[in-house]
Amino acid sequence: MSDALLTVDHLNVGFATRAGIVRAATDITFEIHPGEVLAVVGESGSGKSVTALALMRLHPDNAIVTGDVLFEGCDLLNMSDREMRATRGNDIAMIFQDPMTAMNPVFAVGDQIVETIRVHDSSISKQEAWTKSVDLLKLVGVPEPKRRASQYPHEYSGGMRQRAMIAMAIANDPKLLIADEPTTALDVTVQAQVMEVLHEVQAETGSAMMLITHDLGLVAGSADRVQVMYASRLMETGTIDQIFYESQNPYTMALLDSIPDLDGHREQLEPIPGNPPSLLNPPSGCAFRPRCAFAADVCAAEVPPTVVVGDQHESRCVRTRELETLGGEIS
Amino acid sequence: MCVMVCRPSVPVHTTTDRSVATLFAYVTRRVLISVPLLVIAMYLVHVGVSATVDPRSDFYLCLPRCQEGFDSITETYALDTNIFLRPFTYFADLFSGDGLGFSSSVGEPVGEVMRTRGWNTAMVAIPAFLLGAVLSLLLSVYSARRQYSVGDYFFTGLSFIGFAMPSFVLALIIQVIFGVKLEEWFGIKPFNTGRKTGENFWELLRDITLPAVSLAILGIAADSRFGRSSMLETLNQDYIRTARAKGLTERTVVWKHALRNGLIPLVTLWALGFSALLSGSVVTESIFSWPGIGQTFLRALGDSDLDLLMAIVMFTGVLTVIFNLIADVLYGVLDPRIRLG
């Protein structure tokens, strides 16, 4: 589709280690459209964060990144450092997992927001930028924003800090907001508040959002489309309903079976047996094969290709067709 | 008729006001803590020096004959008073007009000796400190940013050599190569071999270069190691990634966001190192025949010059307390979290 805001095409991220190359993200292809919320779901180490960092070119120095990433037609991976800096924090902004460590402890919160504004538009005076950062803090629900702006991060609670991080991220009205596990480090009640703030600002600014999380519950209420990752690859992509109600991928199904259901329909949670595979030496064929309830000989032969299973719905499983007929047995 | 001009009120940027208030409270607290510390330190220094130095040592051998001289020294230094009470006599004299006393080894009032020698030491110590601080900072940042590069390994090796080498070996090598051999080999003599000869500024600069450089190298070797690991730790923090994600230039990320945090451990080292430099280096000053406090200290010790020794040790003590205070204050300036403690 040509109207995509961000197009990621065959993105690979590997890390050169002494033991060999660790493939942290393999063959990642997806699109984000303006104003859309795309959730990326997966276990720890499945490559979600690495993918996001590679988009921003904030990956560690020893990472090897290949593929194409187009943002509004501009090649993010090959643009100059100067152009990349102009994009970061301006067109694409990022919110990180742990608000406790993501803000510089020695600068006042307001000053850190001012810096974000002024680095991209030096024509704004310090006073104007300060007023704007107070407004931004107000927008994200920080009480007494005037006073709080001059405080330091250690004077904020975790939830407040994450709000401040959101304020900093939306300071320049980004077109794309990448939220990397924005609520993982927060306790549950605060999680809900922060997600609400995130949605409000996303709706207000009309920016697209890439929401990275391992919490399917969080995704259910907030995303338009969902992308499930496992062992560095995309396993299934679809709209929220397709993923939650018409999943065609054994991994997604297993993942859904392992989360509690608030309505209490599910009597027993089903953990996924085994552990995620080593990315240094992944199993042959489908990486989920050793843990998959539907594994067959064919699964070990080669990495399964993505199969289109519906409108906007893709799944990486060679047995997709067979599973459709097996569907009755599963539920 | 008064016309009110309506302007949007300019919001006051309050970060500085509030920071200054907390900082002031913090500094006051640190200063108040330093006062009793200084009093206790002075007392202990006095007892310690009194217990180890006896100005009558030469008289013991001839005692019955020179009882008179023995007694006069005993009276001068109040040596018959209990050792734990002697500090009180000393400090009473200090404030009653006798000042720091008279130096028997130099033959001048102690105050005068401390002033001239202290100034000589400072002339070497200040350039040595500045050179050391600037170079150790630059090396820390360089090595941390290019960890495991050839340059990093090179400076690591150099600093280990500097670390391991005793100060007198380093001073001697520098003295021999730059002070003596350079003249033999090339017929040029860019630096003087120490000893304060200089009358004008340039002569003085040639005098102080070698001692200052050898003192600086010792500091750089240690400080750049600490600075490197501190900067490395800081550069791997999440907030550095945040700073990059904001679109800041690498220069701002390193020299503003990382340095301010990475600098904190170095500040202590610098403050303590500078106070040590200012209280004189016995070894380096001796090798370069520099008439500073360190050399004077050695002489006072040999001559059992009690008043001078006392003054020098007290000077060192006061400097240490003051520079600790300065380090504490700088801590507070650099890191707002420390102000609350």
How confident is the model over A42-63, as pLDDT tens digits? 988 899 999 999 999 999 888 9
A261 falls in which pLDDT band (50, 70, 90)? low
Same domain? For A101 and A54 the reply is yes
Domain with B309 in it: 25-53+83-339
Asked if residue B117 is part of any domain, the answer here is: yes
Same domain? For A191 and A261 the reply is no
Asked if residue A85 is part of any domain, the answer here is: yes
A2 falls in which pLDDT band (50, 70, 90)? low
Domain with A80 in it: 6-223
Asked if residue A212 is part of any domain, the answer here is: yes
Q: Do A106 and B11 touch (CB under 8 A)?
A: no
Average pLDDT value for residue range B219-245:
94
B141 or A256: which leads in pLDDT: B141
Q: Do A85 and B247 touch (CB under 8 A)?
A: yes
Query: Which tens digit of pLDDT belongs to each residue from B297-329?
Result: 999 988 888 889 989 998 998 899 899 999 988
Instruction: Select from A152, A154, A155, A162 the residue whose CB has the most chain B CBs within 10 Å, as the one to mutate to test that interface.
Output: A152
Average pLDDT value for residue range A289-309:
89
Asked if residue A175 is part of any domain, the answer here is: yes
Residue B110 structure tokens: 């102690």
Query: Which tens digit of pLDDT belongs to each residue from B168-207?
Result: 999 999 888 888 888 888 777 777 776 666 677 888 888 8
B6 falls in which pLDDT band (50, 70, 90)? very low
Q: Does A19 touch chain B (CB under 8 A)?
A: no
Asked if residue B12 is part of any domain, the answer here is: no
Shortest distance, CA A2 to any CA of chain B (angstroms): 27
Question: Residue B107 pLDDT > 50, yes or no?
Answer: yes
Asked if residue A282 is part of any domain, the answer here is: yes
Asked if residue A265 is part of any domain, the answer here is: yes
Q: Which of A121-135, A182-196, A205-219 has the highest mean pLDDT?
A: A121-135
Asked if residue A193 is part of any domain, the answer here is: yes
User: From CA B205, how far away is CA B212, in angstroms rounded?
Assistant: 10
Average pLDDT value for residue range B125-130:
95
Q: What are phi and psi of A30, to 5 degrees?
A: -160, 175
Residue A142 structure tokens: 């920080």
Q: Do B241 and A111 touch (CB under 8 A)?
A: no
B3 falls in which pLDDT band (50, 70, 90)? very low
Nearest CA in chain B to A119: B248
User: From CA B130, how far away is CA B237, in angstroms rounded?
Assistant: 29
List the CATH number of the domain containing B279: 1.10.3720.10
Instruction: Select from B246, B260, B267, B337 the residue whose CB has the most chain A CBs within 10 Å, as the one to mutate to test that interface.
Output: B246
Q: How does DSSP classify residue B179?
A: I
Q: Does A144 touch chain B (CB under 8 A)?
A: no
Q: Does B238 touch chain A (CB under 8 A)?
A: yes
Same domain? For A64 and A182 the reply is yes
Same domain? For A268 and A321 the reply is yes
Same domain? For A37 and A87 the reply is yes
A158 chain-B contacts, CB cut-off 8 A? none
B62 or A40: which leads in pLDDT: A40
A114 chain-B contacts, CB cut-off 8 A? none
Same domain? For A13 and A115 the reply is yes
Asked if residue B252 is part of any domain, the answer here is: yes
Question: Residue A41 pLDDT > 90, yes or no?
Answer: yes
Asked if residue A1 is part of any domain, the answer here is: no
What is each CA distance from A125 to A5, A109, A117, B198, B244, in whole angstroms? 31, 17, 10, 52, 22
Asked if residue B76 is part of any domain, the answer here is: no
- Count of alpha carbons within 13 Å of A252, Cβ hemisphere only? 29
Same domain? For A88 and A125 the reply is yes
Same domain? For A219 and A282 the reply is no
Partner-chain residue, chosen from B247, B252, B257, that has the shortest CB–CB distance to A86: B247
The predicted pLDDT at position A125 comes to 95
Q: Does B152 touch chain A (CB under 8 A)?
A: no
Bridging pattern class, strands A313-316 and A233-239: antiparallel
Question: Residue B112 pLDDT > 50, yes or no?
Answer: yes
Which of A173, A188, A223 lies at the terminal end of a domain, its last residue? Answer: A223
Asked if residue B236 is part of any domain, the answer here is: yes
Same domain? For A125 and A48 the reply is yes
Question: Residue B247 pLDDT > 50, yes or no?
Answer: yes
Query: Which tens digit of pLDDT belongs to each residue from A101-117?
Result: 999 999 999 999 999 99
Average pLDDT value for residue range A95-105:
91
Asked if residue B72 is part of any domain, the answer here is: no
Number of domains in chain A: 2
Asked if residue B94 is part of any domain, the answer here is: yes
User: From CA B315, how far away is CA B294, in angstroms rounded?
Assistant: 12
Number of domains in chain B: 1
Q: Do A127 and B13 touch (CB under 8 A)?
A: yes
Do the beta carbons of residue A318 and residue A288 sit within 8 Å?
no
Same domain? For A136 and A246 the reply is no
Question: Residue B219 pLDDT > 80, yes or no?
Answer: yes
A18 chain-B contacts, CB cut-off 8 A? none
List the CATH number of the domain containing A18: 3.40.50.300
The predicted pLDDT at position B9 comes to 42
Percentage with pLDDT > 70 across chain B? 91
B223: burial class by Cβ within 10 Å (0-12, 13-18, 19+)?
A: buried
Q: Do B242 and A115 touch (CB under 8 A)?
A: no
State chain B's mean pLDDT as an integer: 86
Same domain? For A62 and A124 the reply is yes
Residue B144 structure tokens: 């941390």
Q: How does DSSP classify residue B195?
A: S
Instruction: Select from A94, A103, A107 the residue whose CB has the most chain B CBs within 10 Å, as the one to mutate to test that interface.
Output: A107
The predicted pLDDT at position A330 comes to 47
Partner-chain residue, chosen from B238, B249, B336, that has the shortest CB–CB distance to A152: B336
Asked if residue B75 is part of any domain, the answer here is: no
Average pLDDT value for residue range A10-16:
93
Residue A45 structure tokens: 């180490």
B10 chain-A contacts, CB cut-off 8 A? 127
Asked if residue A319 is part of any domain, the answer here is: yes
If contacts are CB pairs under 8 Å, which of residues 19-48 in chain B contact chain A? 19
The predicted pLDDT at position A331 comes to 41
Kindly tell me the sign of the dihedral angle through the C-alpha atoms of B145, B147, B151, B157.
positive
Same domain? For A216 and A261 the reply is no
The predicted pLDDT at position A267 comes to 66
A325 falls in which pLDDT band (50, 70, 90)? low
Residue A80 structure tokens: 């100059």
Average pLDDT value for residue range B7-21:
55
